Structures are given as C-alpha cells and as structure tokens.
Amino acid sequence: MSTVTFDTLEFVETLKQAGIPENQAKAQSEALKKVLHTEVATKQDMENMELKIKADIETAKSEIIKWNTGTLLVATGIFVAISKFMH
C-alpha cells in the first residue's frame, strides 16, 4: 500500500492567501491529510490479491472434488450394501 505526501503548512498558507480564515484552513488541511494518508491499493497490490484469490479458488475446487468423490464412494458403498441385504 502507498500513501501520498502532503504539505499541510503550504496548504493552509495557500487557503489563507485565498481569503479563507486560518481556523477553517487548518480544519480543511487536517481533513484532507486524513483522506490522503488513508492506505491506497496500488496496481501491484491488486495483482497480488488477484493471484491469492485465484489460488484460493483452486484450493476450494480441489476440496470440493475430494468431498464429492468421498461422498460418491460412501453413497455407492451404502447402495451396494443395501442391494446385497435385499437379495
């Protein structure tokens, strides 16, 4: 994750020069600083997440196949046992 560098003092001075009262300029500066310092996902972060999700999906597929195969074998065994018991 990456963050943005933000010069709060310069921002406050720019707002004051534009006629914004100092207390409002400081409040806007703090609010903007919080937004800009929130972690932002980079393209690489997104690509890494995509690879992890794909790996997780493949793992889930394998688990589903194993469980379905096991269930099918157990059901077949039960069916065979019932069939032999009925004859």
The predicted structure's pLDDT at residue 58: 96
pLDDT band for position 46 (cuts 50, 70, 90): very high
Which pTM value belongs to this model? Answer: 0.49
pLDDT in tens, 4-38: 677 888 999 999 999 999 999 999 999 988 888 77
Going by the DSSP 8-state scheme, the letter that residue 38 receives in this structure is: S
Give yes or no for residue 39 having a pLDDT over 80: no
Tell me the three state secondary structure of residue 40: strand
| Residue 21 burial (CB count, 10 A) | 10
